[in-house]
Amino acid sequence: MPTKKSSIGWIGAGRMGYEMAGRLAKDGADILVWNRTREKAKPLEKYGAKVADQIAELAARDIVFCMVATYKDVKEVVTNLLAGKTKPRMLIECSSISLEGSAELRELLEKKGIQYLAAPVSGNAKVIKAGKLSFVCSGPKAAYDEAKPFLDAMGKGSSWVGEGELARIVKICHNVFLGVVTQSLAEITVLAQKAGVPRAAFLDFINQSVMGSTFSRYKTPALVNLDFHVTFTPQLLRKDLDLGLDAAKHFEVPMPLASITRDLIQSLIGNGLDDEDFAKLIVQQARASGLELASENARVDDGLQA
Ligand SMILES: NC(=O)c1ccc[n+]([C@@H]2O[C@H](COP(=O)([O-])OP(=O)(O)OC[C@H]3O[C@@H](n4cnc5c(N)ncnc54)[C@H](OP(=O)(O)O)[C@@H]3O)[C@@H](O)[C@H]2O)c1
């Protein structure tokens, strides 16, 4: 059975893909990276990665990872990857995409004799740097077992949830929760502030309470000091809420909180507040409450170094 000596191809050096590929390169993997905008992948060379000019160069690799944006993008890059005669043994797809897209991809790859693992992730670029990325995987157990050492090298672990596209629904549910929790945090933080409590003090209490979480802690600097450097765009979050609502329709599940959160993210985009991180939901919430936020310039811990 191939081990971590397998050669790796990596498609996509965006916010997530760059950091994930960087961790594999630092771990000593033989990794060849392709990104549509080549210069974004170039700095990975300092960690020992090679950068390809053409996506076709990745077809001769044992295992190819894919981390792009939507299913449409996944389909495009995989079609280009497999345009020639050479093919990898396995493809591991990490973008957040639909169950239907993932199933279509599985069919395409299986016809070509390529193993396919669906492996979406939880975490952002900062989380990856802190070694805390996690994967949820589905597909053949043997493919997961082979992929596991590479997944382990990129974060704190992975869960195999079964065959087929099950990982996709887990990830979609995860991101619906992300949207709803972020909107809820924005609402309660603005309510507390309007009643006179500084955001730093309020979130310090929440983070220490049983309601606090890794997420509420690492979003605290954004909410307190209005640091809206993009970790995740409102557009990608809207995509995931739409995936959640499509799945809800398919499985006949009412999701009232997800529906209203989707529309609040839509308002964020419509109001032109989509130029930075999705945590700008708090700015929208404050404006709806007659409040213009200012940074508190407070020393707050993101909890990621602990
Ligand atoms: N950011 C997060 O916190 C986070 C967390 C978990 C999961 N995700 C998911 O992970 C995926 C990537 O997110 P991200 O934040 O890294 O996005 P991003 O920074 O926007 O990066 C997107 C990547 O996809 C590439 N790409 C997009 N369309 C393409 C196409 N048609 N052909 C070739 N390459 C294409 C981009 O290439 P260029 O550089 O040339 O534009 C870039 O490398 C998404 O599915 C997202 O939902 C994100």
Burial profile 78-89: b = 16 or more Cβ within 10 angstroms, e = fewer: bebbbeeeebbb
* The two structure tokens encoding residue 220: 């605290």
| Predicted TM-score of the model (pTM) | 0.95
Q: Which atom number of ligand 1 is nearest to the Cα of residue 124?
A: 3
Q: What is the pLDDT along the chain (306 residues), one digit of tens a residue?
A: 445 789 999 999 999 999 999 999 999 999 999 999 999 999 999 999 999 999 999 999 999 999 999 999 999 999 999 999 999 999 999 999 999 999 999 999 999 999 999 999 999 999 999 999 999 999 999 999 999 999 999 999 999 999 999 999 999 999 999 999 999 999 999 999 999 999 999 999 999 999 999 999 999 999 999 999 999 999 999 999 999 999 999 999 999 999 999 999 999 999 999 999 999 999 999 999 999 999 999 999 999 986
Residue of the nearest CA to atom 37 in ligand 1? 36
- Pull the structure tokens for residue 99: 């169950």
E strand residue ranges, the chain: 8-11, 31-34, 50-51, 63-66, 90-93, 115-118, 121-122, 134-137, 157-160
Tokens representing 38?
């080549």
DSSP single-letter state for residue 36:
S
Ligand 1: residue of 33, 36, 98 to mutate (most ligand atoms within 8 A of CB) is 36
Q: How far is the CA of 299 from the centre of ligand 1 (A)?
A: 31
Tens digits of residue pLDDT in 185-239:
999 999 999 999 999 999 999 999 999 999 999 999 999 999 999 999 999 999 9
Question: Which residues face 252 on adjacent strands?
Answer: none
Task: For the chain, state the CA radius of gyration.
Answer: 20
> In the prediction, which pLDDT does 1 show?
41
Contact 280, 180 (CB under 8 A): no
**3-state class percentages of the chain: helix first, strand second, coil last, to nearest 5:** 55, 10, 35
